[in-house]
């Protein structure tokens, strides 16, 4: 009976996602907001809460994030990653300054204390790699010139999490300096080792994985990715970073074959991830914190757009790509929820969870919209400013301006 109920629930979820995706496709719109709203409707406090399939959906959501980042990694080589990180690290510093500080300031203004300020800074700082990877695929922008800039910022953020998460865990637990330093050293060593192996031995890994049989290639690539992601997470490093670096390590025909085989699985589990996010959001917890969450979302959406615009401009990308880069980075997601969850579990601030949930939900819905519409809005605004600057002054004002120039010259 339980298995029958599970099949009914999970089948209904997959069918509903397919219909929502088809509807979004006809409107030329990203289906992510619809997936999230569906999760809200059938999650905790929703219209019809699910029960039997919840555990499976949770596992599917983790696999979804891992596959999204793996597929991103397959788009780029190890040399691309290293060169982008070397050139884009100033963008990472700008990203931290513009997007972490608003969260820290907001926490202090609400009287939450310094530890909560560090936590909320992380919530507002980190963009959602999972959402952004999905949006880039939906909008057909994986080959755009600004996409390496976006990915560099995302990778810098994910690598920064290898430093940030051990620090925040030690702060929340009240651990001493020695214990926190050991955890941090382990996390950095693991992240560095995985990156070194991906860059130095990528060809050997590709040769080991390579197979003319599609079934064997699928099993080896998927198994290797889940294994590395799991080990990375166990050692306090993001599973997303591990999956991304596996994708970076694979190249040539192996990468092309894996991309073709894994694309349908990525789309399935990515949709499950977004539904799972909505399922674990109680709609009744949002209204009390909606106004501060909305204010914080507006401020940090603008700061993310500024970050992407600046980074793309620095990389020599044209005006259209600059606006696209900024708009694409707006979405927050999985890391923000994880960070807030750590604070709630430690009992630091009871309102942190609802605020972070409302904040992320706002930006994860707005994110696909800003990714699509920031470019036309930004270009329209720029054109308006240029047009107003080019309007000639009235004749009287021109005469006065000329007289002033003569007087100044004399």
Report the C-alpha gap between 116 and 137 in whole angstroms.
35
Average pLDDT over residues 131-140: 83
For residue 406, the model assigns a pLDDT of: 41
User: Quick one: which of 242, 243, 89 has its CA closest to 152?
Assistant: 89
For residue 394, the model assigns a pLDDT of: 55
For residue 397, the model assigns a pLDDT of: 52
Q: What is the average pLDDT value for the chain, to the nearest integer?
A: 79
Report the C-alpha gap between 254 and 205 in whole angstroms.
10
For residue 9, the model assigns a pLDDT of: 77
For residue 101, the model assigns a pLDDT of: 94
Residue 159's pLDDT band, with cuts at 50, 70 and 90, is confident
Report the C-alpha gap between 83 and 122 in whole angstroms.
26
Report the C-alpha gap between 350 and 338 in whole angstroms.
15
Average pLDDT over residues 170-182: 63
Average pLDDT over residues 230-254: 77
Is the predicted pLDDT of residue 228 greater than 80, yes or no? Answer: yes
52-98, pLDDT tens digit by residue? 566 777 788 788 878 877 887 787 676 666 776 777 789 989 999 99
- How far is Cα of residue 188 from the mean position of the Cα atoms in its chain? 21
Geometric angle at alpha carbon 152, from 150 and 156, rounded to 5°: 120
| Higher per-residue pLDDT: 363 or 130 | 363
Sign of CA dihedral 189, 194, 196, 197: positive
For residue 399, the model assigns a pLDDT of: 53
For residue 89, the model assigns a pLDDT of: 84
Per mean pLDDT, which range of 102-116, 366-380, 395-409 is the poorest? 395-409
Phi-psi region of 30 (alpha: psi -120 to 50; beta: other; left: phi over 0): beta
Average pLDDT over residues 371-385: 87
Report the C-alpha gap between 300 and 140 in whole angstroms.
25
265-282, pLDDT tens digit by residue? 888 887 887 777 667 667
Residues 6+ apart with CB under 8 A from 285: 45, 353, 354, 357, 358
Residue 409's pLDDT band, with cuts at 50, 70 and 90, is very low
Report the C-alpha gap between 345 and 32 in whole angstroms.
28
As given in the structure block, the two tokens for residue 268 are 């399935």
Residue 189's pLDDT band, with cuts at 50, 70 and 90, is confident
For residue 43, the model assigns a pLDDT of: 66
For residue 83, the model assigns a pLDDT of: 72
Average pLDDT over residues 186-211: 76
For residue 408, the model assigns a pLDDT of: 41
Average pLDDT over residues 171-197: 67
As given in the structure block, the two tokens for residue 405 are 């120039």
Contact yes or no for 99/300 (Cβ under 8 A): yes
Is the predicted pLDDT of residue 233 greater than 80, yes or no? Answer: no
Contact yes or no for 60/234 (Cβ under 8 A): no
Cβ of 306: how many Cβ atoms within 10 Å?
A: 16
| Higher per-residue pLDDT: 80 or 205 | 205
As given in the structure block, the two tokens for residue 124 are 């507002």
294-318, pLDDT tens digit by residue? 999 999 999 999 999 999 999 899 9
Average pLDDT over residues 340-369: 80
Residue 403's pLDDT band, with cuts at 50, 70 and 90, is very low
Report the C-alpha gap between 24 and 226 in whole angstroms.
30
Report the C-alpha gap between 167 and 146 in whole angstroms.
32
| Higher per-residue pLDDT: 6 or 308 | 308
């Amino acid at each position: 009976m339980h298995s029958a109920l599970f099949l009914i629930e999970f089948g209904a979820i997959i069918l509903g996602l397919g219909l929502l995706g088809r509807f979004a496709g006809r409107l030329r719109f990203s289906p992510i907001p619809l997936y999230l709203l569906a999760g809200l409707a059938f999650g905790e406090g929703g219209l019809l809460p699910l029960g039997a399939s919840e555990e499976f959906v949770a596992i599917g959501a983790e696999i979804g994030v891992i596959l999204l980042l793996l597929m991103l990694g397959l788009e780029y080589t190890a040399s691309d990653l290293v060169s982008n990180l070397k050139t884009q690290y100033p963008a990472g510093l700008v990203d931290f300054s513009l997007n972490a500080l608003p969260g820290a300031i907001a926490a202090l203004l609400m009287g939450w204390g310094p530890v909560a300020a560090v936590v909320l800074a992380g919530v507002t700082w980190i963009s959602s790699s999972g959402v952004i990877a999905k949006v880039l695929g939906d909008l057909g922008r994986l080959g755009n010139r600004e996409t390496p800039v976006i990915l560099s910022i995302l990778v810098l953020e994910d690598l920064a999490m290898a430093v940030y998460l051990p620090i925040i865990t030690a702060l929340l637990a009240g651990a001493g300096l020695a214990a926190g330093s050991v955890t941090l050293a382990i996390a950095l060593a693991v992240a560095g080792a995985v990156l070194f192996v991906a860059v130095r031995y990528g060809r050997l890994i590709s040769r080991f994985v390579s197979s003319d049989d599609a079934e064997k290639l699928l099993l080896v690539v998927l198994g290797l990715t889940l294994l590395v992601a799991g080990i990375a997470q166990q050692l306090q490093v993001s599973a997303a970073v591990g999956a991304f670096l596996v994708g970076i390590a694979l190249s040539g025909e192996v990468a092309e074959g894996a991309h073709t085989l894994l694309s349908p699985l990525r789309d399935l589990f990515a949709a499950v991830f977004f539904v799972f996010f909505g399922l674990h959001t109680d709609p009744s917890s949002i209204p009390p914190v909606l106004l501060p969450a909305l204010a914080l979302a507006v401020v940090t959406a603008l700061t993310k757009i500024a970050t992407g615009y600046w980074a793309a401009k620095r990389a020599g990308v044209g005006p259209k790509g600059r606006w696209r880069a900024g708009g694409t980075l707006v979405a927050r997601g999985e890391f923000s929820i994880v960070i807030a969850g750590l604070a709630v579990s430690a009992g630091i601030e009871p309102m942190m969870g609802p605020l972070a949930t409302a904040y992320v939900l706002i930006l994860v819905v707005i994110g696909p919209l800003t990714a699509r519409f920031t470019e036309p809005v930004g270009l329209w605004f720029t054109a308006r400013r240029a047009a107003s600057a080019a309007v000639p002054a009235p004749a009287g004002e021109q005469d006065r301006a000329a007289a002033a120039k003569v007087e100044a010259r004399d």
